[in-house]
Amino acid sequence: MSLPAPTDLPAWKALAAHRERIAATTIGDLFAADATRGERMHAEGAGLFLDYSKNRVTDETLRLLVTLARETGLEARREAMFSGEKINLTENRAVLHVALRAPEGATINVDGENVVPAVHAVLKAMGAFADTVRSGAWRGASGKRIKTIVNIGIGGSDLGPVMAYEALRHYSDRSLTCRFVSNVDGTDFAEAVVDLDPAETLFIISSKTFTTLETMANAQTARAWILAGMGGDAAVVARHFVAVSTNAAKVAEFGIDTANMFGFWDWVGGRYSLDSAIGLSTMIAIGPQNFASLLGGFRAMDEHFRTAPLEQNLPVLMGLLAVLYTDFFGAQSIAVLPYEQYLKRFPAYLQQLTMESNGKSVRLDGQPVTCSTGPVYWGEPGTNGQHSFYQLIHQGTHLIPCDFLGFNRSHNQLGRHHDYLISNVFAQAEALAFGKSAEEVRAEGTPEWLVPHRVFAGNRPSNVIMADILDPATLGALVALYEHAVFTQGAVWGINCFDQWGVELGKQLAQKIICELESPTEPKLKHDSSTNALIRRYRARRAK
């Protein structure tokens, strides 16, 4: 196949010329010229409200961005995804996280087979299992009720479940606790179980492949911990371990009863798997009903993405704005700033979703890209971030577009806290956009030598995304918003958002180096001189 480079398309060239024309126009100028801008430039969908008026865009910029989306074939690619085509070309796979939240009765075919009934069969099995754990009907081998669920998984088999557990704590059964072990660093496991009773602990081994080094190492350690704590009989494993995987053979080999294995499929990418069986810990924590609401939120955003006009389509607008800043304003990162403590792990989750998806420098046809792709996504919950890195966003030399996330209501309505919190969302977005001029600083009586230090140039773009309250449906909509915004970016850049070859090389090298570190005799090292020296030094100094 051969694809036109997006940079060769008429809309790209028109945008480049347009960018020159608006170079001197500030966000302040745009607001001054149009009294209705703040009310006009918004979009709504799936319970989310997006105010994008504080961006460096005119109506013409938006028209050109939408034209670019059309010229790059976004709509056809979107349809190809929703209809189960194998758009993940490098792995020859369909990309169907949208099928995970399709309504029962929908039809989505992969290789001529409707996958939706299988999705719902797994959801039902998960629901039945979650209910037995929640009700206490599921007992550990010694007859004790399960109190702690430890999810062992990494990457896509960890970040979604951790994020969702934290985000939906308000909805979780407080007599159960979920913990998450991902790192192969033994400290992660050791600290996670330090105060746990094996008799009351259930491990969920979450691994699509059931071969990932970190997860398998942690799973073996967990198995040994359970056996040591429960008398050493391998039969106890079945009461303390369940698996989420696509690999039944490996699960059985580990000693987990495949009746307690919850499956998914190769058309679910790891970082898009939160709403598959990988969400089992979330379902146990919040219950099957709330999990169904979570899926409902995803589905509502899927529908919006699929049907809303591009000009009013939240993920399309957010994806195109990211392209605009990345390719026409030289921005290298985007900050995501949730003003909601329950979303404290959301930026970490988005790091994987966005950067593993769009950190690519080759297009789908194998040609090198001719523009910048995948910005760095990062962030911390507000207001904490304001007291650390916001300085750079306000007065530094980098342009960092921001997504502010806020909610009209809090689950913890304590005195004036929520108004304080949300006043900061609006204040930060206002300050970034309009800044503070030297005249304003002088008018406050600031001595002349201090004026430049206290000036805020403004003209720094942001989106403000608001919803009523962080409930399961809203979380689903929010995650799907970013999933589809990432898809929009990838479609414009002509890259494959759904593979991750970039994580392979390090994995392979580590396998080789493990043998060298553990070799009883001095290994013959054939790395570069730095790697060789580091290996020798470690071998000489490590704890024996």
Could you say which residues in the range 456-515 bind ligand G6Q, by CB under 6 A? 500
d(CA 73, CA 495): 12
In whole angstroms, how large is the CA radius of gyration of the chain?
25
Number of residues that bind ligand G6Q (CB under 6 A): 14
Report the residue from 74, 95, 123, 154 that binds ligand G6Q according to the rule CB under 6 A: 154
Rounded least distance, CB 212 to ligand G6Q, Å: 3
> Which of 516, 515, 506 shows the shortest CA–CA distance to 537?
516
d(CA 10, CA 72): 10
Rounded least distance, CB 209 to ligand G6Q, Å: 3
d(CA 356, CA 155): 10
Could you say which residues in the range 26-45 bind ligand G6Q, by CB under 6 A? none
**Quick check: 157 binds ligand G6Q (CB under 6 A)?**
yes
Count CA atoms within 13 Å of residue 336 on its CB side: 21
In the shown chain, the binding pattern of residues 280 to 319 toward ligand G6Q, with x for contact by CB under 6 A and - for none, equals ----------------------------------------
Kindly give, in sequence order, each residue whose CB lies less than 8 Å from that of residue 396, ignoring residues fewer than 6 positions away. none
Contact 12, 376 (CB under 8 A): no
Report the residue from 45, 47, 155, 476 that binds ligand G6Q according to the rule CB under 6 A: 155
Cα 353–Cα 218–Cα 255 angle in degrees, nearest 5: 110
Rounded least distance, CB 123 to ligand G6Q, Å: 19
Among the options 166, 214, 356, 483, which is catalytic? 356
Cis peptide before 383 (omega within 30 of 0): yes
Rounded least distance, CB 446 to ligand G6Q, Å: 50
Among the options 13, 124, 417, 507, which is catalytic? 507
Report the residue from 151, 207, 290, 326 that binds ligand G6Q according to the rule CB under 6 A: 207
CB nearer ligand G6Q, residue 349 or residue 390: 349
Name the helix (H) or strand (E) containing 463: strand 462-467
Instruction: Using DSSP, state whether 305 is helix, strand or coil.
Output: helix
**Quick check: 88 binds ligand G6Q (CB under 6 A)?**
no
Rounded least distance, CB 323 to ligand G6Q, Å: 22
Could you say which residues in the range 335-374 bind ligand G6Q, by CB under 6 A? 356
**Listed ranges 85-93, 209-217, 259-267, 313-321: which one lies at the site for ligand G6Q (CB under 6 A):** 209-217
Rounded least distance, CB 81 to ligand G6Q, Å: 16
Q: Is 430 marked active-site?
A: no
Rounded least distance, CB 161 to ligand G6Q, Å: 11
CB nearer ligand G6Q, residue 269 or residue 401: 269
CB nearer ligand G6Q, residue 158 or residue 166: 158
CA 127 to chain centre: 24
| Cβ contacts of 292-295, under 8 Å, gap ≥ 24 | 293/471, 293/472, 293/473, 293/476, 294/164, 294/168, 294/472, 294/473, 294/475, 294/476, 295/100, 295/101, 295/123, 295/476
**Quick check: 212 binds ligand G6Q (CB under 6 A)?**
yes
Could you say which residues in the range 255-274 bind ligand G6Q, by CB under 6 A? 269-271
Among the options 387, 453, 524, 526, which is catalytic? 387
**Listed ranges 40-48, 208-216, 284-292, 306-314: which one lies at the site for ligand G6Q (CB under 6 A):** 208-216
Report the residue from 209, 372, 437, 532 that binds ligand G6Q according to the rule CB under 6 A: 209
**Quick check: 208 binds ligand G6Q (CB under 6 A)?**
yes
DSSP string, 482-494: HHHHHHHHHHHHT
CB nearer ligand G6Q, residue 153 or residue 379: 153
CA 76 to chain centre: 24
Kindly give, in sequence order, each residue whose CB lies less than 8 Å from that of residue 285, ignoring residues fewer than 6 positions away. 149, 165, 168, 169, 171, 172, 173, 176, 178
Backbone φ, ψ for residue 404 (5° rounding): -95, 130
Report the residue from 61, 201, 215, 474 that binds ligand G6Q according to the rule CB under 6 A: 215
Q: Is 507 marked active-site?
A: yes
**Listed ranges 203-211, 219-227, 235-243, 383-391: which one lies at the site for ligand G6Q (CB under 6 A):** 203-211
Residue 460 structure tokens: 């720094």
Rounded least distance, CB 90 to ligand G6Q, Å: 13
**Listed ranges 89-97, 106-114, 153-161, 520-528: which one lies at the site for ligand G6Q (CB under 6 A):** 153-161
CB nearer ligand G6Q, residue 351 or residue 446: 351
CB nearer ligand G6Q, residue 278 or residue 400: 278
> CB count, 10 Å around CB of 503?
11
Rounded least distance, CB 258 to ligand G6Q, Å: 17
Residue 241 structure tokens: 């371990």
Q: Is 356 marked active-site?
A: yes
CB nearer ligand G6Q, residue 269 or residue 315: 269
d(CA 253, CA 540): 36
CB nearer ligand G6Q, residue 180 or residue 342: 180
d(CA 132, CA 177): 15
Residue 52 structure tokens: 């994008």
| Cβ contacts of 258-265, under 8 Å, gap ≥ 24 | 260/129, 262/122, 262/125, 262/126, 262/129, 263/122, 264/100, 264/122, 264/208, 265/96, 265/115, 265/118
Rounded least distance, CB 350 to ligand G6Q, Å: 13
CB nearer ligand G6Q, residue 215 or residue 489: 215
Catalytic residues: 356, 387, 507
Contact residues toward ligand G6Q (CB under 6 A) are: 154-157, 207-209, 212, 215, 269-271, 356, 500
